[in-house]
A = this chain, B = another copy of it.
């Protein structure tokens, strides 16, 4: 899935063929799946620049006393490598 209509400025910066790296994380939350994803992405953004997309790889959770204590969402997160990376 990609952005919609390409625009001129964007294209000119992509003359060279970029390489992306994909890192795998697990975001957690006591609230639900969406929040676990957001927590994981926010944490990854602290140390990685140019985050570009994510993909959910698995959804799990911990149960304590018959109730969900933690949602744990596995994520692959892609980011563009800059020249200096």
Contacts and interface: CB of A to CB of B under 8 A. Distances in A.
B14 A22 contact: no
* Copies of the protein in its oligomer: 12
Contacts of A34: 32-34, 71
Given A10-B5, A37-B68, A24 B25 contact: no
Determine which residue in A9, A43, A47, A67 has the highest number of CB atoms from chain B within 10 A of its CB, and name it.
Answer: A43
Interface residues of A, number: 66
Contact of A26 (B10, B20, B25): B20
Given A19-B28, A21-B24, A54-B68, 15 more contacts: A1-B26, A1-B60, A2-B53, A3-B10, A3-B14, A5-B13, A7-B7, A19-B25, A19-B27, A19-B39, A22-B24, A33-B33, A41-B68, A54-B63, A56-B58
